[in-house]
Amino acid sequence: MKYTVNTKEFLNVVKNADVYTSRGKRNKKLQNIDLVFENNRIIIRSSNHSEWFEGYVFPTIAEISDSVSLVVNVKSLISVLKNVNIEVIDVFPRDTDLVISWENKEIVLPSIEDDTISFNPPKYKEFGGVTVNAKELAKHLNRVVFAVNPKELRIPLQGVNIELHHDNITFVATDGYRLSYTQLFNPDVFGDSTENVSVLLPKDAVTRLLKLLRKTEEVKIVFCDVYTKIVTSQFQVVITNVMGTFPTWGPIADAARSGNKVIEVKAKVLKEAISLIRSLDSDGGAVMSIARQKVSLSTFDKGGPTLNLDVDIINTREDIKVGFNTKFLLDFLKIVLKENKNAVVKLVMDTPKRALFAQVVDTPEWGYVFMPKEIRNW
């Protein structure tokens, strides 16, 4: 019984499995992974009690008679693999141990009897799902996940809401002070019960998933009763959904988007200006002023420095001063610039007390709403 595998590929799957083990010092028993040796692959499984990971390694040579399963400590296995300086190794079970051999060397890792965790997810009922490009999925998740506050007491606001409609998937997240939404159109839908399905994925689960999506091409999102399953040719993850109903958000976005004071400015220029103002303001706030067809940014504290902003378009005949939390806009601009360093953003305002709306020009499927900050002593 012997499996010949690429060392780097094997290590990468083990590292991915490690992401789904418990990282806490009090949970060392949960830092174990399960290796299942089958006829044509090695399945590497792990879990943190709310997510279940399953990754696949396809050996160049596989010699086995029966399926064998071993539980080993993931840290020990990673340590061994990092010190292997050869492209191909042999991996195989021997009695109750895991053997890793190359050239004339051999390392034996003892198996562990671990009954503290099940590497198999609970039973669930699948309703159907969608097939999407992995890069597109990652792009849309990145556009919204930053707006989630996992410590929010209102449980439905602790995750990314994914809504499946007949012609699009809508991703939306909010912490009660800001809201980001984006739409992926014309996904490949499968199953019979997928119309108007909505699920909430925890922020931590989305963050872990984004790391896995970097090295795959096609993804199936399978909607289940209380779980969501992500399936690719290289791995699958079962995620426990956040319970609760996501708040109605459409009217909020529509109201913010309908403001009558609009400017367009290069995202890089705006980010640099806001970063400078933020560094000078003790409260992390800023005031945007539009007066006489000119735009300026100043610190929240009256009497602080003011920066004139070089904007591309100003579409308003009325002057306005709007206060806002600089972090809210900077978080949005960071994601914008990761996608496109030359992006131009549109800012929509109405009154100093109404929410602001931000959007990348020529990207109508993505919108961002954030609350103003009350201006005092001005």
Q: What is the pLDDT of residues 120-169, one digit of tens each?
A: 888 888 888 999 999 999 999 999 999 999 888 898 899 999 999 888 99
Q: How far apart are alpha carbons 172 and 163 in whole angstroms?
A: 8
Question: Any idea where the domains of the chain sit in the sequence?
Answer: 2-110, 126-240, 250-370
CA 175 to chain centre: 15
Does the pTM surpass 0.85? The reply is: yes
- The stretch 194-218 carries a mean pLDDT of 90
| Sign of the Cα pseudo-torsion (36, 38, 42, 44, in order) | negative
According to DSSP, the residues that pair with 219 across neighbouring strands are 132
Q: How far apart are alpha carbons 191 and 256 in whole angstroms?
A: 36
Q: Do domains 2-110 and 250-370 have the same CATH topology?
A: yes
Q: What is the pLDDT of residues 82-106, one digit of tens each?
A: 999 999 999 999 988 999 999 989 9
- What fold, for 250-370? DNA Polymerase III; Chain A, domain 2 (3.10.150)
**Domain 2-110: homologous superfamily in CATH:** DNA Polymerase III, subunit A, domain 2 (3.10.150.10)
In degrees and rounded to multiples of 5, residue 202 shows phi and psi of -60, 150
User: What pLDDT was estimated at residue 214?
Assistant: 87
Residue 1 has pLDDT above 80, yes or no: no
**Domain 126-240: homologous superfamily in CATH:** DNA Polymerase III, subunit A, domain 2 (3.10.150.10)
Torsion of CA 87, 90, 92, 98, to 10 degrees: -60
Whether the CB-CB separation of 53 and 45 falls below 8 Å is answered with yes
Return the closest-CA partner of residue 55 out of 46, 42, 44: 44
Whole-Å CA distances, 310 to 25, 260, 274, 313: 51, 20, 13, 9
3-state secondary structure the chain: CEEEEEHHHHHHHHHHHHHCCCCCHHHHHHCEEEEEECCCCEEEEEECCCEEEEEEECCCEEECCCCEEEEEEHHHHHHHHHCCCCCEEEEEEECCEEEEEECCEEEEEECCCCCCCCCCCCCCCEEEEEEEEHHHHHHHHHHHHCCCCCCCCCHHHHEEEEEECCCEEEEEEECCCEEEEEEEECCEEECCCCCCEEEEEEHHHHHHHHHHHHHCCEEEEEEECCEEEEECCCEEEEEECCCCCCCCCHHHHHHHHCCCEEEEEEHHHHHHHHHHHHHHCCCCEEEEEEECCEEEEEECCCCCCEEEECCCEEECCCCEEEEEEHHHHHHHHHHHHHHCCCCEEEEEECCCCCCEEEEECCCCCEEEEECECCCCCC
Q: What is the pLDDT of residues 22-80, one digit of tens each?
A: 765 445 556 899 999 998 899 999 999 899 999 999 998 877 767 899 999 999 999 99
Q: What is the pLDDT of residues 278-332, one digit of tens each?
A: 998 878 899 999 988 899 999 887 777 889 998 988 888 788 999 999 999 999 9
CA 58 to chain centre: 27
Q: Residue 341 corresponds to which amino acid?
A: K
Residue 354 has pLDDT above 70, yes or no: yes
- The stretch 249-274 carries a mean pLDDT of 95
Whether the CB-CB separation of 246 and 171 falls below 8 Å is answered with no
Query: With 0-12 CB in 10 A as exposed, 13-18 as middle and 19+ as buried, what is 127?
Result: middle
